[in-house]
Amino acid sequence: MLRTVLKAGAAAALAGAAVAAARSLNDWWDWLEPRIERIEVDPHGAADGRPGRYVHHGALLRRVFNPLMVRIGRGNAVLFVRGRKSGKRLAVPMDPPFAWQGVRYFVSPLGDTHWARNLRAAGEGELRSQRHLEAIRTVELHGAERDAIVTAYANTITCGCKLYLRMLPNPADHPVFRIEPAST
């Protein structure tokens, strides 16, 4: 009798451990997998005053690779912008600005992300590329102008950003900022 109870207890413990392992594996994948999130309407306005949507990266990219890319900075640009709530100077690794018809743009393939909302609120920042730091001013684009640039961006990029553009196919979900030199 005792042996049967012990076997049943061991079987239940093994089944519980298997469920816990499967659950922790799913939690691990959730930690890595990008997902779409909806945010509240920003009083300063998401694109066209709609609730912003963005692809939320997994923690591995946010907490490991992004800080590493800021430090290395090789081949990529780094945007320095003030946080809209904290006021701290934040560093965001980015692809180099998208150049189209002789004008440079920041296009957010991930949607209305934190860097886009911070840049919208600040309207200015600094851009480091190729070890050169440049003070910049940005103007957010809306409507047909934004849609044309998002379409051109989607047709010319070759990086993994195409996945995010497929996840958010509406051009209105992608903030676009025209980069201008900061006035002195």
Annotated domain spans of the chain:
1-32, 33-181
State residue 51's pLDDT score: 55
State residue 33's pLDDT score: 57
- Per cent of the chain over pLDDT 90 is 39
State residue 32's pLDDT score: 54
State residue 153's pLDDT score: 94
Q: How far apart are CA 181 and CA 45, in angstroms?
A: 24
Q: How far apart are CA 111 and CA 46, in angstroms?
A: 10
pTM beyond 0.95: no
Kindly list the distances between the CA atom of residue 146 and the CA atoms of 34, 60, 175, in Å, as whole numbers in the listed order: 24, 31, 8
pLDDT in tens, 34-68: 665 554 444 444 545 555 777 776 677 667 777 77
Q: How far apart are CA 52 and CA 172, in angstroms?
A: 9
Residue 8's pLDDT band (cuts 50, 70, 90): very low
Q: How far apart are CA 106 and CA 179, in angstroms?
A: 7
33-181: CATH architecture: Roll (2.30)
Cα dihedral angle (92, 60, 40, 87), rounded to 10 degrees?
-40
From 14-18, 50-54, 105-109, 141-145, the region with the lowest mean pLDDT: 14-18
pLDDT in tens, 157-179: 877 788 888 888 889 989 999 99
Q: Yes or no: say if 97 and 77 are a contact pair by the CB < 8 Å rule.
A: yes
3-class SS string, 23-90: HHHHHHHHHHCCEEEECCCCCCCCHHHCCCEEEECCHHHHHHHHHHHHHHCCCCEEEEEECCCCCCEE
Average pLDDT over residues 83-108: 92
State residue 6's pLDDT score: 42
| CA atoms in the 13 A half-sphere facing the CB of 4 | 1
Q: How far apart are CA 137 and CA 182, in angstroms?
A: 5
